[in-house]
Amino acid sequence: MASLSLFPRRLFWGGTAGLAVLFCGLLANVQAEGDATAIRVAVYDDAGSGADAMKGLMSALEKEPALHVSRVRAAAIRAGELDACDVVIFPGGMSTTQGRTLGEDGRERVRTFVRGGGGYIGFCAGAYLASCDRDYDWSLNILNANVIDKEHWARGVGKVDLSLTEEGRRLMGVSGDRLNIYYHQGPLLAPAGRTDLAAYAPVASFETEVVKAGVAGGLMKGTTAVAASHFGGGKVLCFSPHPEMTEGLHEIVHRSIRWAARPPARLRIVAQRGASFDAPENTLAAINMAWVQAADAVRLDVMLTQDGHPVVVDESRISQVSGASFSVSKQTLASLRQLDVGAWKGAKYEGERVPTLAQALANVPSGKSVFIEIKCGPEGVAAILKTIEASGLARDQLRIIARAADAIAASKSLRPDLQASWSIELPPDSAPTDFASIIAQAQAIHADGVDISAESVLAEKFAMAVKEAGLRLDVRAVHDVETARKAMAGGAATITTDRPEWLRTELALPTE
């Protein structure tokens, strides 16, 4: 928590679009104060928000200084003010009133926000609101859940016990498998089975029930109490009971917000060896196609020739792309340039040559970046950095990556201003002690981040440890949507893929 508690909390009233902008509309203002880790939370506070529920929620939020909290009205949501926030919370109250006050435009704004990577948390009424129950024409349809026994929604008030799954214990930070919590007529959730929505994970279910006179018993036990899911590129977390109104459980609210929040910086899509699904890898054709496919950056393999020229090539894949087999360090630039590294991908790419790093850096568009993965040892660092210097690119357009720790150390020694990520493999059975060792070594070589393969286990504790250490998490070799969502959930700053345009579209990420 220490790294998440460095900055002052701000509470603004978001009753109008203009005042909502004051809170979370200008990310630049937050960053100007050095607050890169704060999470921007919008709390719906309009018709349908219960007074007691709001009091409990705001009390819980005030205990976490890392949160920048705004109360927003339906009009501000319809005006698009959620776009600059990380999480929206709909509190307990009356879901029917909340949904109808938002109106169809407001509900679509919430859906767009979550689809684009924002987080949604619903407590009680907010959980009803998120559901896709066909009887609720005012719902958001972002959680693949129906409500059981909705005719008896006013089933009672009191403490109940929840049974937690392993995922639920991890998410909520609870050591045991049961949790005693306040309940106030929240929904009894069950899978709706919609094929156009992701199935939710039931991270907690009701172990006991509340039944007042006139309401049948036996229905509540075993139904979903807490549901976790995703909608587009964002996460959805819905509580039927009230951790925010239960003494001692406010940390669950804080952890839920951290889980649901969009990454602190806009997720960047990096083209692996260029747009290498469609064009021959590590060629100018693949690099140029990556810019056409709206990649934020390209990631290129760089090695040193015998005569000292940095070239864009991966020695381990030379035979696949050219039919030849040799050591790059024993070849001159002239001999490498004789290879055709494009024909294997199709006739239209015949004649593509191994480009020099200088050629690859010559036409990088404004606002785009190049991730240079050093595939040789520290002996090549000086020549690579000399080529970078000659390119005229701004330092924020460049990033060094290497598996060799000494190459990262050498890069940071010569150019400490350039960002550098240490590329590692995280074993499936890694323990927290291993995480600490990895992070300590990354810090020892002055790396700014760690780069992890999608094939490795994206352990939540590792991602949290990386962020708490102030390091950036990059995830490489991502070729499917589910893995991309897991990387996003783990707090990845960048995702490297061979299909940048396709993945951006699937995740509904903006291009700007």
**Is the pLDDT at 384 greater than 80, yes or no?**
yes
Closest CA to 283 of 335, 334, 351, 372: 351
**Is the pLDDT at 203 greater than 90, yes or no?**
yes
For residues 370-375, give the mean pLDDT.
98
For residue range 387-442, list pLDDT tens digits in order: 999 999 999 999 999 999 999 999 999 999 899 999 998 776 666 667 889 999 99
Q: Rounded distance, CA 509 to CA 494, Å?
A: 12
pTM over 0.85, yes/no: no
222 falls in which pLDDT band (50, 70, 90)? very high
What count of Cα atoms within 13 Å lies in the side-chain half-sphere of residue 204? 31
Residue 474: predicted pLDDT? 93
**HEC readout, 411-432:** HHHHCCCCEEEEEECCCCCCCH
Q: Dihedrals φ, ψ of 177, to 5°?
A: -100, 5
Q: Rounded distance, CA 104 to CA 325, Å?
A: 61
What percentage of the chain reaches a pLDDT higher than 70? 90
Beta bridge partners of 189: 147, 224
Residue type, 376: C
**Is the pLDDT at 217 greater than 90, yes or no?**
no
Cα first-last separation, the chain? 31
Residues 6+ apart with CB under 8 A from 440: none
**Higher model confidence: residue 505 or residue 296?**
296
Most confident of 8-12, 25-29, 463-467: 463-467
Computed over every residue of the chain, the mean pLDDT equals 87
**Higher model confidence: residue 3 or residue 105?**
105
Catalogue all structural domains in the chain, each as residue range(s) with its CATH number. Answer: 2-152+187-204+222-260 (3.40.50.880), 268-506 (3.20.20.190)
238 falls in which pLDDT band (50, 70, 90)? very high
Contacts by residues 337-344 (CB-CB < 8 Å, ≥ 24 positions apart)? 341/280, 341/282, 341/283, 341/313, 342/280, 342/283, 342/285, 344/280, 344/320
- Give the strand pairing for 188-191 and 39-44: unpaired
Q: Rounded distance, CA 24 to CA 82, Å?
A: 8
Q: Rounded distance, CA 37 to CA 16, Å?
A: 26
460 falls in which pLDDT band (50, 70, 90)? low
**Higher model confidence: residue 98 or residue 426?**
98
**Is the pLDDT at 359 greater than 50, yes or no?**
yes
Residue 489: predicted pLDDT? 72
